[in-house]
């Protein structure tokens, strides 16, 4: 197939996602998050470009897909970059997927997603919102061009109030930056309608490490031995020591239990901690 492709994050054995497809209406992402991994494999990664002749290509691919598997939008580029408000490529894709009764999983950190409430209420879908902190200043530093956390939560609330299942992606967790306040963030997500939380620790590659080091030199100095001396390399990324990852994910899981939400970690090798029926929240699709 062409633009709807098998979801497979680099054949990573730690990935516990159910079988699904990936669809990225855009190449590159304008949000410019410091921790983002796409700069390691997408040229001009922070320049968002619409895919050429996208709708016709999606129509062709829809003739070949397995309708029992969800289509995830998006895994490399947010499906709701600022230019989506004008171009509406993601909305056009959603219309096609709704017509074909496809299962859809949307992952975003934009409040533009609430514009498409009319479509989500008529299709089998779940929407996951990435929010890594409630601290507005920290959010601006980590995610310079993304909408602030409160706007994402308000969009979450609007969708949930209309009956659209929503999740929180607390991803990534970065020691010494956003590794506290989990209880407040998870509670806020629950109050805004979330049913499930997926979380993961920061797994730097050379490019994202350079950005973090430039923006947070003192934090990077404390992180360096954790990743590069006590941690380990896995699939071109560096991982924190397992015991630290287990503690961080355990803290978030406890916050989820207190808020009445299910929990799962992402590519941590800690699947035994998961309480949700799927790690990515796709089990919530009707």
Q: What is the DSSP string of 39-99?
A: GGTSTTTTS-EEPTTHHHHHHHHHTTS-TTS-EEE-SSS-S--TTHHHH-HHHHHHHHHHH
pLDDT confidence of residue 187:
98
Check: CB of residue 94 under 8 Å from CB of residue 123: yes
Q: Is residue 11 over pLDDT 90?
A: no
Burial 92-103 (b: 16+ CB within 10 A, else e): ebbeebbeeebb
- What is d(CA 83, CA 60) in angstroms, rounded to the nearest whole number? 25
Strand order in the sheet with 21-23: 4-6, 21-23, 71-73, 103-108, 124-130, 166-173, 194-201, 262-265
- Within 8 A by CB and 6+ apart from 44, the residues are 28
Q: Smallest Cα–Cα separation from 18: which of 3, 30, 6, 36? A: 6
Q: Which domains does the chain have, with CATH numbers?
A: 4-284 (3.80.30.30)
**Rounded mean pLDDT of 35-57?**
97
**Rounded mean pLDDT of 240-269?**
97
Q: Is residue 9 over pLDDT 80?
A: no
Q: Smallest Cα–Cα separation from 172: which of 225, 111, 223? A: 223
**Rounded mean pLDDT of 100-115?**
98
**Mean pLDDT score of the chain:** 97
DSSP state of 215: H
Q: Smallest Cα–Cα separation from 222: which of 182, 170, 174? A: 174
Q: Is residue 233 over pLDDT 90?
A: yes
Kind of pairing between the strands at 49-50 and 26-27: antiparallel
**Rounded mean pLDDT of 136-140?**
98
Residue with more model confidence, 286 or 241: 241
pLDDT confidence of residue 75:
87
Q: Is residue 10 over pLDDT 80?
A: no
Q: Is residue 168 over pLDDT 80?
A: yes
**Rounded mean pLDDT of 256-279?**
96
pLDDT confidence of residue 8:
79
DSSP state of 284: G
Tell me which of 2-11, 155-164, 242-251 is least confident. 2-11
**Rounded mean pLDDT of 202-220?**
98
Residue 68 region, left (φ>0) first, then alpha (ψ -120 to 50), else beta?
alpha
Residue 52 pLDDT level (bands cut at 50, 70, 90): very high
As a whole-number percent, the residues of the chain with pLDDT over 70 amount to 100
* Whole-structure pTM value: 0.96
């Amino acid at each position: 197939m062409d633009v709807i492709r098998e979801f497979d994050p680099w054949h990573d054995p730690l990935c516990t996602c159910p079988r699904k497809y990936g669809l990225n209406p855009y190449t590159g992402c304008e949000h410019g998050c410091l921790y983002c991994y796409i700069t390691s494999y997408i040229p001009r990664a922070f320049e968002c470009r619409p895919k050429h002749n996208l709708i016709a290509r999606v129509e062709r691919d829809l003739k070949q897909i397995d309708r029992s598997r969800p289509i995830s939008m998006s895994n490399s580029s947010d499906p709701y970059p600022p230019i989506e408000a004008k171009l509406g490529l993601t909305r056009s894709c959603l219309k096609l997927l709704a017509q074909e009764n496809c299962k859809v999983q949307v992952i975003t950190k934009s409040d533009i997603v609430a514009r498409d409430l009319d479509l989500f209420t008529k299709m089998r879908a779940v929407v996951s919102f990435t929010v890594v902190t409630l601290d507005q200043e920290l959010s601006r530093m980590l995610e310079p061009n993304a909408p602030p956390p409160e706007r994402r939560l308000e969009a979450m609330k609007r969708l949930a109030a209309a009956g659209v299942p929503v999740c929180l992606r607390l991803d990534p967790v970065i020691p010494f930056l956003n590794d506290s306040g989990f209880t407040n963030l998870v509670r806020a997500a629950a109050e805004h309608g979330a049913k499930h939380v997926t979380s993961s620790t920061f797994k730097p590659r050379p490019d994202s490490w350079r950005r973090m080091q430039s923006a947070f030199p003192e934090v990077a100095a404390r992180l360096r031995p954790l990743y590069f001396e006590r941690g380990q390399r896995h699939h071109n990324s560096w991982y924190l020591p397992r015991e630290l990852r287990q503690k961080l994910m355990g803290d978030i899981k406890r916050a989820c239990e207190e808020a009445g939400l299910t929990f799962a970690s992402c590519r941590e090798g800690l699947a035994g901690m998961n309480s949700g029926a799927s790690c990515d929240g796709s089990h919530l699709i009707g």
